[in-house]
Structure 1
Amino acid sequence: MEVLPPVSDAPRGLPLPSPPAALVSLPLPATASAQGKIVDGFPAAALPFPDESIVVFTGVSAADTVLQVTADAISELSRDSVVGHFQQRLMTVGFWSEAAPAAEGRRAVRFVRGSDSLTLTTSTTGTGSTRFTLLGSLHATAG
């Protein structure tokens, strides 16, 4: 007589994906801001600006495991190209994007990944350049 192994519940559905790796790590930088340059502690590797952007302002502010980031810059690229640049960069690390409410003459896109979120707002300057601002919260813990 053959002895069968005990019956166990079969797995159901697909396994949950692993949470994406955090874009910032502890210890978070001290709160700081800078005019005309990337401030120390700004996650430039995770949020690279389009090539040849002119940085107007950047800032970081940390609380617990959350880093708030802000940036204001100008690019010679079109608004669509600036949005496309950030969509391409952020989608490769697991963000999805959607249109967000914006003031007249501006375009806003929200990027979300787990508990991380960023909003990119673009407008056209008087010289035809694109001014863009980033505002977001990044978590030093996965998910």
Structure 2
Amino acid sequence: MAAAPAGLPLPSPQTALVSMPLPPTASAQGKIVAGFPEEPLRFPDGTVVVSTGVSAADSVLQVTADAISAASQDSVVGHFQQKLAPLNFWSEAAPAAEGQRSVRFVRGADSVTLTTSTTGTGSTRFMLLGSLHATAG
């Protein structure tokens, strides 16, 4: 009887964060727009939403958000790292304008870029720009 091959097990397929049919293109001021992937991109508690948007093309959903949190920039970045790491996203620093911090989260073909800055009142304004595929990527 032959021995079973040794080595690392194959990774399990990743579950898509959005599903077909994708929502129609829309935006909202002061609230989360219908079709925004709230579970994987849940905002920190107490966030004030400035605007959100979704735009679908083929099997890709582009998502945007502009919001303000009373938490520090580090706390906001940490929040999204805690939400996205269990979904197999890795993160890296991304280029940002002076006074801003930008982190890119990537998982296969999916990506989310988070940009933060400190407001004049000491709050953190954050912007998300994501590209999520309806098929695991």
Normalising by the smaller structure, the TM-score range is: over 0.9
1:99-110 matches, cutoff 5 A: 99-110=93-104
User: What is the aligned counterpart of 2:32 among 23, 26, 38?
Assistant: 38
Distance across 1 between alignment mates of 2:96 and 2:13: 30
- The TM-score with structure 2 as length reference comes to 0.95
SS in 2 for 1:82: helix
> How many correspondences in the alignment?
137
User: What is the aligned counterpart of 1:63 among 57, 68, 78?
Assistant: 57
Distance across 2 between alignment mates of 1:26 and 1:60: 14
Unaligned runs of 5+ in 2: none
Residue 128 of structure 1 corresponds to 122
Unaligned runs of 5+ in 1: none
Distance across 1 between alignment mates of 2:92 and 2:136: 22
* 1:76 maps to 2:70: yes
- The TM-score with structure 1 as length reference comes to 0.91
Residue 15 of structure 2 corresponds to 21
Residue 119 of structure 1 corresponds to 113
SS in 1 for 2:22: coil
C-alpha distance after superposition, 1:25-80 (max 9, x if no partner): 11000000011100000001111000010000100000111100000000000000
What is the CA distance between 1:12 and its match in structure 2?
5.6
Root mean square deviation of aligned Cα: 1.4
Counterpart residue identity of residue 84, structure 1 = G
User: What is the aligned counterpart of 2:92 among 94, 98, 101?
Assistant: 98
Identity of aligned residues (%): 77
Give the structure with higher Rg (CA): 1
Counterpart residue identity of residue 70, structure 2 = E
